[in-house]
Amino acid sequence: MADVIDMANDVAEENLRAAIARQAYRPTGPSALWCEDCEEVIPEARRMAAPGCECCTSCQEIREIRRK
Ligand SMILES: [Zn+2]
């Protein structure tokens, strides 16, 4: 049982590290054409306003709520 918990912790830690690494690279990247979450086209205005964005305004809001 303890092994399973240890493994879960390792995976969570690895995911966290990957998320931080992604965050660090993101701001310079090009904006996505389609939302990663709902696959809607991201309007040009949003792509210009939020360089490197990966999702549409509503999905971004959901992501920000989840992050808290
Ligand atoms: Zn979306």
Better-predicted residue by pLDDT, 29 or 59: 59
- pLDDT (0 to 100) of residue 41: 95
Name the pTM for this structure: 0.53
Residue 35: give the domain boundaries. Answer: 31-68
* 52-63 residue pLDDT tens: 899 999 999 999
Nearest-angstrom CA–CA distance, 7 and 26: 28
Tell me, yes or no, whether 49 and 35 share the same domain.
yes
Measure 31 CA to ligand 1 centroid, in angstroms. Answer: 13
Measure 40 CA to ligand 1 centroid, in angstroms. Answer: 6
Q: What is the DSSP string of 1-68?
A: -HHHHHHHHHHHHHHHHHHHHHHHHGGGSPPPSB-TTT-PBPPHHHHHHSTT--S-HHHHHHHHHHH-
Q: How many domains does one find in the chain?
A: 2
> What whole-number percentage of the chain has pLDDT above 90?
44
Tell me, yes or no, whether 47 and 67 share the same domain.
yes
